[in-house]
Amino acid sequence: MAKTKVSYFCQSCGFEAPKWLGKCPSCSQWNTFVEEIVERANPSVPDWKPQSTSLQRANKAVPIDKIEFDEEHRILTPDKEFNRVLGGGIVAGSLVLIGGEPGIGKSTLMLQLSLNMPGLRVLYVSGEESDRQIKMRAERLAPQPPEGGAGSQATPPLGGGGAGGDCYILTETSTQNIFKQIEQLQPELVVIDSIQTLHSAHIESTPGSVSQVRECTAELLRFAKESGTPVFLIGHITKDGMIAGPKILEHMVDTVLQFEGDRHHVYRILRAVKNRFGSASELGIYEMLGAGLREVSNPSEILLSQREEQLSGITISATLEGMRPMMIETQALVSTSAYGTPQRSATGFDTRRMNMLLAVLEKRCGFKLGAKDVFLNITGGIRVEDPAIDLGLAAAIISSHEDIPIPFKTCFAGELGLSGEIRAVNRVEQRIAEAQKLGFEQIFISKYNLPTGGNDKKRIDLSRYEIAVKTVGSIEEVFTLLFG
């Protein structure tokens, strides 16, 4: 009988070494190597094998123009936010990884999706909960499930009466047993909760280790590509916010989704980090309720506070997340520093960019902010990286500094340069249309968004907008129009 193979893996990056090392040569982390048994001499349980013999043909190189290509048909879910983040629906044979903080709602999102897939047989595999616990949560998500007794391993459909699709529950952690159930059930969608709880008989190490996560993901990837069945994986994250396991896990899957938000707030954000079948800049917004997650079709309404009086330091900025325009509320507070060193704090915005905006305002406009405490906040608990909110943030800072409120129904869309100029931003017409739809009366944009000369294709027709469009070229013009 052959000897068992032993290797050492870095828990941070997955680097393999034949002996223990104090410092990883790949990621330069210390004391991250653990010993794992990576190969058994005679694995007794077979791996996933395709059903059709046509899938077992030998691959050979072919010219790219000889490859037959049909337009990809996507599976549309009832959740429009989920479809948008995936790039238009679920692609057949895709492997999707969803990560997020503990208790943020990953299992709720996927179980709710499984219960409401119309006309699809869904297998929900859980290695963390019992079938009774899942049934209890399904009763809350789908108040009218059909009557029926419990099965042996895969329970009868949950939520099939009012929800539509057939959802089967399997509580198992062995990949070989999962594939046996898949062979019997023939599901059209598989959900794994979670990949860190699975273990394969080919690897003698604990579930969640580097080798187990890599091997289980490779088996599921092989199953998804050979059978054309989409597979969703729920993944844990580390204390640094990264998805637990080797970095190769994110490279192996087709799509990586991040479920973000504060557990103490009701809103959740589903963000695409990697997407081979669509844009990686889309996001979906949900509201956590007692009966599950509710999709928010118009996020601008929840991101704007309904205040009745004018307050200084509050502005509205037009931003873009993927193809979706949103109006967000930006808040600033400038006060005299009570200590020797002024404080600089930003929530939902890059602190270094905030320091750049303060330097531009002090250098180009003459505002003395060096001895002031400055606090910035993006309401709604979201994080924005769009440079188009620079103008709104600068106006909020000066509004708080001078204690003069910004007029109601005024919004901003412009990038602030180091010399104080207002730079043009992309897709400004969508931002103007969103501001007009929400009832704003005027919007400040860069005058460089209106090109001059003979290029009429890029010219923006402002006459078709009812909102007043203010074009400015420098930050001084903005403050003159706002504060006089």
Q: Work out the angle between the directed axes of helices 351-365 and 390-402 (0-180°, nearest 10).
A: 60
Written as six digits, the tokens of 29 are: 């982390």
CA dihedral in degrees (368, 373, 378, 383; nearest 10)?
100
How far apart are alpha carbons 116 and 138 in whole angstroms?
11
Percentages helix, strand, coil for the chain (3-state, rounded to 5) are 30, 25, 45
User: In this structure, are residues 25 and 19 in contact, taking their beta carbons and an 8 Å threshold?
Assistant: no
- Are the beta carbons of 381 and 267 closer than 8 angstroms? yes
Under DSSP, the state recorded for 157 is P
- A 10 A CB-CB count for 338 gives 8
Q: Does residue 52 sit in helix, strand or coil?
A: coil
> Please, what is the Cα angle at 168 between 224 and 49, to 5 degrees?
30
Give the type of residue at 107: S
Using DSSP's 3-state secondary structure scheme, residue 359 falls into: helix
Helix locations, 119-254, DSSP H: 131-141, 160-163, 175-185, 210-227, 248-252
Q: Rounded to whole angstroms, how far apart are CA atoms 354 and 174?
A: 50
CA distance 335 to 402: 10
CA-based radius of gyration for the chain: 27
β-pairing verdict for 314-321 and 410-413: parallel
> Rounded CA gap, 451 and 444, in Å?
16
Which two three-digit tokens encode residue 157?
A: 């459909």
Give the residue carrying structure tokens 């949560």.
137
Per the annotation, where are the binding residues? 100-107
Q: Which of 477, 279, 308 is nearest to 405 (CA)?
A: 308
Tell me phi and psi for residue 195, to 5 degrees.
-65, -25
- Picking from 479, 384, 381, 365, the residue whose alpha carbon sits closest to that of residue 425 is 384
| Residue pair 202/47 in contact by the 8 Å Cβ criterion | yes
Closest by CA to 390, choosing from 357, 421, 419, is 357
Are β-strands 442-446 and 468-472 bridged in parallel, bridged antiparallel, or unpaired?
A: parallel
Q: Binding site residues for ATP, as ranges?
A: 100-107
Phi, psi of 204 (to 5 degrees): -95, 75
